[in-house]
Amino acid sequence: MDTPPEAATVLEHWREKMRKRREVALGFTEDLLHGESMDNVDADLLAALYNPAHPPFLNLYIRGKKHKDLRYFIRTRVGALPQLDSPEEVALINYDADAMDDGIWYLEHMGSELKSGTASSEEDRRLFATRSYKIETAISKNDHVFGTTVVTLQPLIEGERVLKFELLPNLRVTRVSDGEGQDLYFVQESRKEDGSFYVILPKGGEKGKEYSLTIQYEGDKVLQHAGDGSFYVRARSSWYPNLNGFGEHALYDLTYKVPRRYKVISVGKLKSESIEQDYAVSHWITPMPVAVAGFNYGAYTKLELEDHSTGYKISGYYLSQLPDNLRNYDVLRTMAPESMTKYALEQTRAQLQLCTYYFGKSPYDEIFITEQPDFTFGQSWPNLVYLPISAYTDSTQRWMLFGNINAGFSGFVREVTPHEVAHQWWGDLVFWRGYRDQWIFEGLASYCSLMMLERQDPVGFRMVLEKYRLELQKKNKSGAMLKDAGPVTAGFRLSSSEFPEGYEAISYGRGTWLFHMLRYLLKNGELADARSTERPTASAKAAEEPFLRALRRVRERYSGRSINTRELLAVFEEELPSSLRYEGKKSLEWFYEGWINGTAMPQLDSKNVKLLPKGRGLLITGTVVQKDAPKNLVTAIPLYGFTGKGDRLLLGMVFADGAENPFRVTAPAGIKRVVLDPDQTLLTQVR
């Protein structure tokens, strides 16, 4: 049967669409599927052809009347969406940045696995394991980057010959060679097309055997000039050939050669510095495996702050000049970068002391706090923190900039430094297993910043939590609440055209609330147990809270390792008091199903409350009403009694697992009324 002549036209049109890449994506799915690490379909086909044992896979591209670009993937080897490190094998995506339903519609394991009970999100989708990187980077006076990376790796699967690296497409590979210096073939199309970088091995690698590749490359767009001595480091994780992204940890040996007026601040420990003609050379080594290497770059001035109590060496690096895009704001010309850097370092020291006290010492003896020209974006790499320039503004400058007291932005400035410093424990030392677990580290870093705020300003602590609560109740154009974007376990899938702010609101906002709930559930549960058994409560010392005992245990057990959500809850279950054991089980499965893997924000109320004399005390009965909640939602609610003088007493924990839930507790004489969760420790709707 002959191929219809129009088939060639259709194929060419499809190839043109599939290979197109914009430097700035228009939406979530474009960024996911056509970003820096977009698939080169031809290279993926080549990988399957080169390995006879490669399992079959399906990429289906559907054009319909209503939806012009649906993509259906079944990939059992690398996962349906390797850009997300997804363990799931099946995906359906609506690729349409202009539509309200743009996004990942379906992402799940194979039906056969679900039926047999063998589906697992713990599957390792890596084809090769990276052991180390040795990277030499030279930056010329026109910001052009020249790099050589030696990657040491081991095959995890027999027979695979094609390796896909994350590398900024503007960095053009000039040569790839093996450990013996023999040139290897590679694939890298135009930077405006599917310019992802693939290396082709001459034969399938032997599982477990160590190999090395040397990759040479050069190009632009790693750095973007922001002003006199100021640069945006745009390629945060793709400035070198990165094999598995954040999916594994490796050792790094890093050498930088840059114009001598500029300074490089890198992850790792500085081993040496020297001057070669007009260039400054620095050599850094990571003392332990890390997920990613990064650096900041510019005409920095260094400021140090001692921390005698913990022994950390804290260094701040600030820019003396404003970036070009902010020079027209007269108010910002009054910035005092040295004094504000000192303030940022004091915040850093306070958070380091708090986290060390609560969780134990970080393995990094040094921490570098660096200013960057981005106004509202911060990030934390191992022992290297990038702070937005807004973190160096004071309250007067912010007031003059916005024309009012912008509470939301002031809150961001106050929280960003302790949040990023907390990532040194949660995200850098202990890290996520997969995209479904990433919420743990954003929520926990945010909550650690709030715990520092709580010590300094308890009212401000409550205000931030209320801000998160109200944000989750905001409605989009179609009238849906932001909380309904999905559960925290959806990860980056929360972002869509319908909920463009879904990931930030859920992972940060709801994630913070989930840790707040866990903290006070355990605290109130422990108090309720003490009252019911008439034994003394645990010490009121903050570090001995059950919540903090559990987190310290997480840090001890998972240091240098990944953790998933259920493993995290298993540690918290070790602290679970009797009053929180739903149906008598020492399990937080009810919390996982209803609160972590759900979107609930119920309304709680009580009715038919009666205070009846019983002996020398009271018997209190009534009904807890739980509205706007899924039928299977289980909520553990602290029930407090109040005297006529306003004194209060925790009477017990009450479970609500339906619309109406009767309760029955005893209380001492003098209690005049009862209140559900008076401190608002539960993520409920504001009535």
Q: What one-character-per-residue DSSP string does 141-183 give?
A: TT--EEEEEEEEEEESSTT--EEEEB--TTEEEEEEEETTS-B
Helix pair angle (511-533, 546-558), 10° resolution: 120
Strands, E assignment, 260-383 = 263-266, 269-276, 279-285, 295-298, 300-306, 313-319, 366-372, 379-381
Please tell me the distance from the alpha carbon of residue 438 to that of residue 74, in angstroms, as a whole number.
24
Q: Enumerate long-range contacts of 437-442, CB under 8 Å, 24 or more apart.
A: 437/489, 437/562, 437/563, 437/564, 437/565, 437/568, 438/491, 438/492, 438/507, 439/488, 439/489, 439/491, 439/506, 439/507, 439/510, 439/511, 439/565, 440/511, 440/563, 440/565, 440/568, 442/507, 442/508, 442/511
- For residue 458, name the pLDDT band (cuts at 50, 70, 90): very high
Please tell me the distance from the alpha carbon of residue 163 to that of residue 160, in angstroms, as a whole number.
8
Strands, E assignment, 527-616 = 562-563, 603-614
Please tell me the distance from the alpha carbon of residue 354 to that of residue 411, in angstroms, as a whole number.
19
| DSSP labels, 199-238 | EE-SSPPPTT--EEEEEEEEESSSEEEEETTEEEE--SS-
Please tell me the distance from the alpha carbon of residue 368 to that of residue 317, in angstroms, as a whole number.
7
- Tell me the sheet residues that pair with 198: 164, 187
pLDDT at 586 over 90: yes
Provide the 3-class DSSP secondary structure of residue 683. coil
Strands 562-563 and 431-432: parallel
Top-confidence residue, 641 or 687: 641
- For residue 20, name the pLDDT band (cuts at 50, 70, 90): confident
pLDDT at 602 over 50: yes
- Residue 602 burial (CB count, 10 A): 20
Give the residue from 283, 279, 215 showing the smallest Cα distance to 254.
283
Strands 171-178 and 128-139: unpaired
Top-confidence residue, 369 or 3: 369
Please give the backbone phi and psi of residue 336, each rounded to the nearest 5 degrees, phi first. -115, 90
Say which residue the tokens 């040569």 belong to: 175
- Residue 608 burial (CB count, 10 A): 10
- Residue 670 burial (CB count, 10 A): 14
Angle at 652 between CA 651 and CA 654, to 5 degrees: 130
- Counting beta carbons within 10 angstroms of the beta carbon of residue 334, is it exposed (0 to 12), middle (13 to 18) or buried (19 or more)? exposed
Provide the 3-class DSSP secondary structure of residue 317. strand
- For residue 24, name the pLDDT band (cuts at 50, 70, 90): confident
Q: Enumerate long-range contacts of 324-327, CB under 8 Å, 24 or more apart.
A: 324/226, 324/227, 325/226, 325/227, 325/373, 326/373, 326/375, 326/389, 327/227
Going edge to edge, which strands form the sheet with 300-306?
300-306, 313-319, 366-372, 384-388, 379-381
Residue 71 has a pLDDT of 95
245: left (phi over 0), alpha (psi -120 to 50) or beta: left
Alpha helices in 360-510 (DSSP H): 395-402, 407-422, 439-456, 458-472, 502-503
Residue 256 has a pLDDT of 98
Q: Report whether 374 contacts 227 (CB < 8 A).
A: no
Residue 539 has a pLDDT of 42
At 214-230, the pLDDT tens digits run: 999 999 999 999 998 99
pLDDT at 6 over 60: yes
Alpha-carbon distances of 219 from 144, 145, 296, rounded to whole Å: 6, 5, 18
Buried b / exposed e across 6-24, counting CB within 10 Å, b at 16+? eeeeeeeeeeeebbebeee
Residue 333 has a pLDDT of 75
pLDDT at 1 over 70: no
Q: What is the DSSP letter of 390?
A: G
Question: What is the chain's mean pLDDT, rounded?
Answer: 92
Give the residue from 178, 687, 176, 253 showing the smallest Cα distance to 470.
687
- Residue 628 burial (CB count, 10 A): 12
One-letter amino acid at 72 equals Y
Residue 481 has a pLDDT of 94
At 288-336, the pLDDT tens digits run: 999 999 999 999 999 999 898 899 999 999 998 888 888 888 777 777 7
Q: Say which CATH class 299-425 falls into.
A: mainly alpha
- Residue 129 burial (CB count, 10 A): 18
Please tell me the distance from the alpha carbon of residue 176 to that of residue 684, in angstroms, as a whole number.
56
Strands 313-319 and 603-614: unpaired
- For residue 401, name the pLDDT band (cuts at 50, 70, 90): confident
Please give the backbone phi and psi of residue 374, each rounded to the nearest 5 degrees, phi first. -60, 135
Q: Percent of the chain beyond pLDDT 90?
A: 77
Strands 70-75 and 379-381: unpaired
pLDDT at 80 over 60: yes
Q: Domain extents for the chain?
A: 5-116, 126-296, 299-425, 464-596, 603-676
- Residue 507 burial (CB count, 10 A): 24
- For residue 620, name the pLDDT band (cuts at 50, 70, 90): very high
At 500-556, the pLDDT tens digits run: 889 999 999 999 999 999 999 999 999 999 887 665 544 444 447 999 999 999 999
Q: Say which CATH class 126-296 falls into.
A: mainly beta
Strands 223-227 and 230-233: antiparallel
Please report, to the nearest 10 degrees, the dihedral formed by the alpha carbons of residues 34, 37, 40, 43 taken in order: -170
Q: Is the pTM of this model over 0.85?
A: yes
